[in-house]
Amino acid sequence: MAQIGVGYWGPNLLRNLMANGACQVKKVVEPSPERREFVGRLYPSVELCADTDAVLDDGAIDAVIISTPISTHFDIAMRVLESGKHILVEKPMGRSLREVEAIAKLAGEKNLVAMAGYTFLYNSAVRYIKELIANGDLGTVRYIYSQRVNLGRVRDDVDALWNLAPHDVSIIQNWLNNPEPVDVQRNGMAWVQDGIDDVVFLNIRYPAGMIANVHVSWLDPHKVRTMTVVGSEKMVVYDDIAEHKVAIYDKGIDRMAVLGQDMDFDEPLALPPISYRSGDVVLPKIGWREPLMVEIEHFFDCILNGTECISGPRTAAQVVGILEQASVARDS
């Protein structure tokens, strides 16, 4: 293994790589001397490099994790694939659908794994809710809304949508089995830096009337990481920073049967008779493993056993496609 980039998120990836007995981390590429020194103190056995070519030219390296700024993902991913190595690219895989499709095409031609680092798809709570939806426990999903907000960290290379929304969009797509949206709209505003939205409300409309709203911001007084799924039978809240990450609510509004409904002599009613249902709140016990550890294990499983990748190019393309549609909507 090799890793390119050990900036903000890179140390977490590297820590999990070093702890995984299925691989040997041979090289780490990082242009910053200070970051190389940081890695050297923690992992003296790893060879430190300043240039990506040191990894591309090493035939002993089978796979590479790319954890660099988003603007560099495409070029580095293509070069690594050309050198015959599998890749795990931090989210998003590219800045456009065109870039992701090019990565997918090259990986397919060379029979290599190309995986995007949508870590929340390997989160136990997220997987638990996916099972609830798949088993029909919530009934028909009517709408989903999420909030991923806090004060900072402000970026100057991407806006709040591209920085934060990939997490929630990837989760929503995964829960719904990756449908193609009917419509994508955004409403955002830039106050701190011209042209870089600090807050965005993203609206996604799916077939059969299902809708989703994603609220992201790095300009908010609260740190919130919640997602709510409203079904026809039950509702569920996923709170990533709460002790009990999943709460299932037996709540809803039901239409009541009416004696003689649809008969000629029935008087038309202004409103359909309804009943409000408010049952138990269940806090299920969910086993926990660090999602990054699960993600890396899945990466190796895809390489060694040909397992279909949960966050492969198809997932990456759908998420980037939605973000790209939203960006076009902003600029038009």
Q: Which residue, 117, 132, 148, sits at the end of a domain?
A: 117
Is residue 12, in this structure, part of any structural domain at all? yes
For residues 137, 138, 139, 144, the Cα torsion angle rounded to the nearest 10 degrees is -150
- The pLDDT of residue 136 is above 50: yes
Give the model's pLDDT for residue 254: 77
Tens of pLDDT along 220-236?
Answer: 999 999 999 999 999 99
Q: Which residue, 117, 139, 156, sits at the end of a domain?
A: 117
Query: Is the domain of 148 the same as that of 276?
Result: yes
Measured distance CA(212)–CA(281) in Å, rounded: 23
Tens of pLDDT along 97-124?
Answer: 999 999 999 999 999 999 999 999 999 9
Is residue 314, in this structure, part of any structural domain at all? no
Give the model's pLDDT for residue 276: 83
Q: Please tell me the total count of domains within the chain.
A: 2
Measured distance CA(213)–CA(207) in Å, rounded: 15
Query: Is the domain of 65 the same as that of 144?
Result: no
Q: Which domain holds residue 12?
A: 2-117
Query: Is the domain of 113 the same as that of 145?
Result: no
Tens of pLDDT along 12-29?
Answer: 999 999 999 999 999 999
Query: Is the domain of 105 the same as that of 149?
Result: no
Report helix, strand or coil for 58.
coil
| Number of neighbouring beta carbons within 10 Å of residue 18 | 16
Query: Is the domain of 85 the same as that of 161?
Result: no
Measured distance CA(219)–CA(296) in Å, rounded: 32
Tens of pLDDT along 173-216?
Answer: 999 999 999 999 999 999 999 999 999 999 999 998 999 999 99
Is residue 316, in this structure, part of any structural domain at all? no
Tens of pLDDT along 52-98?
Answer: 999 999 999 999 999 999 999 999 999 999 999 999 999 999 999 99
- The pLDDT of residue 317 is above 80: yes
Give the model's pLDDT for residue 278: 84
More confident residue, 217 or 330: 217
Q: Which residues pair with 143 in a beta bridge?
A: 211, 230
Q: Closest Cα partner for 16 from 332, 299, 277? A: 299
Query: Is the domain of 81 the same as that of 222?
Result: no
Tens of pLDDT along 273-308?
Answer: 777 888 899 999 999 999 999 999 999 999 999 999
Tens of pLDDT along 257-267?
Answer: 655 555 444 55
Give the model's pLDDT for residue 260: 55
Query: Is the domain of 269 the same as that of 132?
Result: yes
* Cβ atoms of 246 and 125 closer than 8 Å: yes
Query: Is the domain of 166 the same as that of 245?
Result: yes
- The pLDDT of residue 268 is above 60: no
Query: Is the domain of 139 the same as that of 270?
Result: yes
Give the model's pLDDT for residue 277: 83
Is residue 297, in this structure, part of any structural domain at all? no
Tens of pLDDT along 28-54?
Answer: 999 999 999 999 999 999 999 999 999
Give the model's pLDDT for residue 265: 47
Query: Is the domain of 154 the same as that of 84?
Result: no
* Cβ atoms of 321 and 108 closer than 8 Å: no
Measured distance CA(219)–CA(198) in Å, rounded: 6
